[in-house]
Amino acid sequence: MAVITIVGSGMMGSALAFPARENGNEVRLVGSPLDREIIEACKKTNRHPKLEKDFPDGVTYYQIEDLETAMTGADLLIGGVSSFGVDWFGDYVLPKVPAKIPVLSVTKGLMDLEDGTLLSYPDVWKRKLDAMGKKLSLNAIGGPCTSYELVAHDQTEVAFCGEDLETLRRLKKWMETDYYHISVTTDVLGIESAVALKNGYALGIALTIGLNQKEFGLDSPLHYNSQAAVFGQAFKEMYKLLELQGAWSLENITVGTGDLYVTVYGGRTRLVGILLGRGMNIDEAKAALNGVTLESLVVAVRVARAVRIRAARGEADLADFPLLMHVDEILSEKKPVNIPWESFTYEK
């Protein structure tokens, strides 16, 4: 049995408490500064306010000021913050983590630099730690997994990535269950890029749902031709972006495409894409979804910005990314949805 401390009690961080505890580990769930009400609710009811199942018996709950107590004797720290908490996690939490405790992050996203480089979050944190003269084992989870389905024990396959296979095997042993299946790989940039890139593309696919609702009515049958067409273009662009990252592999694109699928059909990104397709601009869509965290928007804009910088140096061709560029126009310039269908076609 291991002692597993989870920092960040949002839906995904909390969902990971289920396989962790059900695999026989001691689990301690710590809220971020934004999670105070969640932790208080968990203490009173043994259930996350947005999940429909009680936590397994034995999960304990801590407010952020008790972080060091919650880490005492821990064998693993899981980072469950959203992408908006990346800097806070790197500046506040990681400096307090003992060097012997590996870190496993479920936060998906990429950070862009001025030269067009796209960094995984583990690499962002590594740079912060290097500046402090500190070293930690930084690992991450990628793959198609929604929090509420994980809690419901739907069969789920993910990948754990990190620099050391032995560490990854140990993390897999602690976390895997008969419904939570784990591959391990040392290709951190590949996995982290694949699962981050899908966010903007899931939004692009969801645009077609809103467009069809706008034309045929909110209660009209779903139209799959248009969704499939954009899905195919999304796959092509994700493939090329992984090549641009130097991170192409069959395994990476498989993980990314699976994550794309589940995000289109079960994620918050679907909601904003539908509203944009119906005719709202991004500000109106955000207002309509007040309180919903939209990490996909941040990632799409960062990736588009990086691709433009790389294209200006002749390292990429913007013509290869018409869907990404249009999603960025919608988000950054508030342009109306006008999917560039003909740019998806080819002669060969």
Give per-residue pLDDT as tens, 18-66: 999 999 999 999 999 999 999 999 999 999 999 999 999 999 999 999 9
Q: Which two tokens stand for residue 333?
A: 């310039």
| Tally of CB atoms within 10 A around 338 | 11
For residues 241-258, average pLDDT: 96
Give the pLDDT of residue 215.
95
Task: Judge whether 55 and 42 are in contact, CB under 8 Å.
Answer: yes
CA 202 – CA 270 distance, rounded (Å): 7
Question: In terms of Cα–Cα distance, which of 101, 140, 85, 108 is closest to 4?
Answer: 101
CA 149 – CA 345 distance, rounded (Å): 36
Give the pLDDT of residue 291.
60
Q: At residue 267, does pLDDT exceed 90?
A: no
> Tens of pLDDT along 285-340?
988 988 666 777 889 999 999 999 999 999 999 999 999 999 999 999 999 999 99
**Least confident range of 103-112, 137-146, 294-303:** 294-303
Query: Residue for token digits 């784990």?
Result: 182
Give the pLDDT of residue 292.
66
Task: Judge whether 233 and 208 are in contact, CB under 8 Å.
Answer: no
CA 46 – CA 60 distance, rounded (Å): 9
Residue 344 CB partners (closer than 8 Å, separation 6+): 229, 230, 232, 233, 322, 323
CA 189 – CA 85 distance, rounded (Å): 20
At 112 the three-state DSSP class reads: strand
The domains located in the chain, with CATH, are 3-186 (3.40.50.720), 189-344 (1.10.1040.10)
Residue 55 CB partners (closer than 8 Å, separation 6+): 14, 17, 18, 21, 29, 42, 46, 47, 48
For residues 254-261, average pLDDT: 96
User: Residue 289 gets which letter from DSSP?
Assistant: T
Average pLDDT, the chain: 95
Query: Is the four-CA dihedral 150, 186, 118, 336 of positive or negative sign?
Result: negative
For residues 218-245, average pLDDT: 96
pTM (two decimals): 0.95
CA 248 – CA 80 distance, rounded (Å): 27
For residues 69-97, average pLDDT: 96
Give the pLDDT of residue 269.
87
Give the pLDDT of residue 264.
92
At 253 the three-state DSSP class reads: helix
Distances (CA, A) of 185 to 47, 196, 259: 33, 17, 17
Strand 3-7 relative to strand 26-30, pairing: parallel
User: How far does the chain reach from its first CA to its final CA, in angstroms?
Assistant: 57
Task: Judge whether 327 and 134 are in contact, CB under 8 Å.
Answer: no
Strand 103-105 relative to strand 76-79, pairing: parallel
Distances (CA, A) of 178 to 36, 105, 145, 154, 160: 32, 22, 15, 10, 17
Query: Residue for token digits 């694949």?
Result: 194
